[in-house]
Structure 1
């Protein structure tokens, strides 16, 4: 109906303009103070009049969109559209906490999310960390965070390890995780250990840090952890495995084959994540290796499939859903108090199962 507005809806429903505003703004926590009967009257009136709130008008007025962006790639990067189990777990935590506060989540892939913040298309932003050891977009990332920091935007990066860049962040304590792994290896008395990460020219900084910490904690233990058994990257005979997103079961399969072919199989293999460990276990079964009697395997993340593998996977539990919840909680605090910031490192937990 031409000229229909919120006042017309209120008159037809017999309620105040404020009541209509509360009901037609699904993000408003004030909705809970409106009776179901009143809500039905307002929705029926709006439907009869064909009235819909103008989202564009809200943006022009600078009002809250009650939307949190979740960016899974860098601006301009349309290649990594694969949403891994890791990403879904973060999204589960983000989504639940956002919904609890009557916010929605907008998934952003490959778009320039600086624009989303600048025009207030979203109120806040969660970004997945940029894990590559050598990232050609480092300067772009530095500029992005400087842009956000200068404007005091509400944002947080999960598992960000970018050197020289100040960014609000929540991440896992890799050092603590590898200390727990080393303690397990010592307790079990394994005489040798290896590591299988991503077999790519540009592996994750997380995996590089885990190798460094594991080497430190195994020093003097009687367990050898030599370079020949550390497969993190490719070259010098180590095959390159094409990426499917950031994570690949094929890394584990190719890694085990390489170690067997070169007679380098250690007593225990630590994997960069559970996907790699899953691929490695499949290859081990094909080779009829007894787990854990001949080969012990340890993962990282504790995804929902880890305990259902046969045998069940020993792994380091990274509380990704909690990361997502904490990220949203911080963003809402930041919206209300712009002076807030966050730099949080969370200690993971060893979950010992049947592969060790």
Structure 2
């Protein structure tokens, strides 16, 4: 006959359950209200939700039940959900911000280890958003913690392309971003009804971007990708002001007209003093299934022309990171919310995009190079 489980055993099991949005243990977030163990082995667990309408309440209840059920001696689990008070939410908000009550952009701090890439293009229609979501998916699959900011306020499309259907959860004035394919994502499209257009001027755009960076709880990201609107307007300038360490990724097509405009998007770095990480040529060629012949629908050489122009203008070598072929699956993946690098990793486009992602993100971050916050003790 098995013995009655102890409170310590149940708490240890609860410590393995993470909040689906914050991605930290419930015990660490003070979300476990009470644990009561009956003599018959039935465990009653009271859990605090961050907000009454928490979209993950079903997932939390399921995960808690499964974790506690595995403890030896448990015959049943009853989960009761409660809601945090305003004081508890404020305490949680402060804890998540590392003890800082004031808002700040974590990626702008000098000790930030997050690589930030601003994906830019001179004109629309070159596949910038498609490149962004596929790079993000490839990086996440390679073991990196990745976030995506859909900074294209007027033409937001990232949620659909990533299949991010959930709404953000608000804890006081902190926003918890939804996750899709292991990627945290935020977009103005998550705050508008239906396909309602966003009609904002410069100051509103700046404020929206600031909220995406400071109000959203991103956690410890390895890489943050920002899908910028085409051109060199308000958002590009705001990114340079808020995140001067962000590197620019320029997306173009082989077409010379597109390349000329794309070069301007990268040349803004001369004024903002940002680094251009490289150029990605999208829709480089089409190769029919079963054929070895490449058809250059949009011409040739645009990507390299942008690299050469930026190299001359900036005085440093700007590399061509890759040439992504035109494949129907890239469009289908964007419509269906499944990035092509995940559904067809061995396709030619999938290989190119995964190679670019690996080159940009590097290896998944470990403890190497991180400050542990310890100092030698005096004897």
TM-score by length of 1: 0.35
Question: Between Structure 1 and Structure 2, which shows a larger proportion of helix residues?
Answer: 1
Structure having the higher strand fraction is 2
Taking structure 2 as the reference length, the TM-score comes to 0.34
Give the greater-gyration-radius structure (CA). 1
